[in-house]
């Protein structure tokens, strides 16, 4: 084999080995990254669910205990969706509804709404939104306590005609310069309570 051919072969083999090693490193990094992303996502989900239904109300794993329901226009769910069940000693004590309202100022607002078996709200949290920073984003628990005012409320408390912002004659505060966003959340929470009242038996029954 001539020196030139030998040099070419050695270069090709070297490049091949480099490509194999590089692909292996990239693949391993990708796998580790995906696992980390999945773990972080699961941790975030745990945190959000626990904020909506506190640990004192359940002894089960909220993430794994769900029931699947058909599409619900009232909740902004166009396809089948999952509802989380909080249980103690095998009995459902509360449910967590995933809700999407299309009434936001800048787009959809995704919420988690926790409701006790007796129809009382355990909590509400915002999962995602596109509302104006410094104004509408105060619906986030980390920006203000506004979202926490729903805890303990229910249908009839306040009366049905009071489930809107004070600017419209209701019981709920709005934000200075931002009325549409809080009004959308209030309406969505009321819709959630009405949905629960209508589908209570199905929501509270144990999974098949």
What integer pLDDT is reported at residue 191 of this predicted model?
A: 97
Q: Where are the domains of the chain?
A: 53-204
**C-alpha span between 35 and 18 (Å, rounded):** 26
Beta strands (DSSP E) in the chain are 66-69, 81-88, 91-101, 109-116, 121-128
Q: How far is CA 109 from CA 26, 42, 48, 51, 122, in A?
A: 37, 21, 15, 18, 19
What integer pLDDT is reported at residue 32 of this predicted model?
A: 46
Q: Six-digit token pair at 107?
A: 């787009």
**C-alpha span between 135 and 49 (Å, rounded):** 25
What integer pLDDT is reported at residue 2 of this predicted model?
A: 61
DSSP notation for 141-155: TTT-SGGGGGTT-BT
pTM of the entire structure?
Answer: 0.79
Q: How many CA atoms lie within 13 A of 162 on its CB side?
A: 11
Closest CA to 68 of 41, 45, 95: 95
What integer pLDDT is reported at residue 38 of this predicted model?
A: 44
What integer pLDDT is reported at residue 39 of this predicted model?
A: 44
**Stretch 99-123: mean pLDDT, rounded?**
96
pLDDT in tens, 26-82: 555 545 454 554 444 445 566 889 999 999 999 998 888 899 999 999 999 999 999
CB-CB neighbours of 33 under 10 Å: 10
% of the chain at pLDDT higher than 90: 64
- Assign 109 to helix, strand or coil: strand
């Amino acid at each position: 084999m001539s020196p030139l051919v030998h040099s070419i072969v050695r270069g090709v083999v070297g490049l091949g080995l480099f490509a194999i090693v590089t692909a292996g490193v990239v693949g391993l990094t990708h796998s580790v990254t995906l696992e980390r992303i999945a773990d972080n996502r699961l941790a975030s989900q745990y945190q959000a669910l626990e904020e909506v239904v506190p640990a004192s109300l359940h002894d089960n794993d909220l993430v794994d205990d769900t029931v699947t329901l058909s599409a619900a226009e009232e909740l902004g769910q166009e396809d089948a969706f999952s509802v989380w069940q909080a249980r103690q000693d095998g009995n459902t004590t509360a449910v967590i509804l995933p809700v999407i309202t299309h009434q936001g100022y800048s787009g959809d607002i995704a919420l988690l709404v926790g409701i006790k078996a007796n129809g009382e709200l355990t909590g509400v949290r915002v999962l995602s939104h596109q509302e104006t920073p410094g104004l509408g984003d105060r619906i986030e628990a980390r920006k203000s306590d506004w979202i926490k005012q729903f805890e303990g409320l229910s249908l009839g408390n306040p009366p049905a005609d009071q489930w809107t912002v004070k600017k419209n004659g209701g019981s709920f505060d709005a934000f200075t310069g931002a009325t549409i966003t809080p009004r959308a959340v209030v309406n969505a929470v009321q819709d959630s309570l009405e949905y629960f009242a209508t589908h209570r038996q199905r929501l509270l029954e144990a999974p098949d």
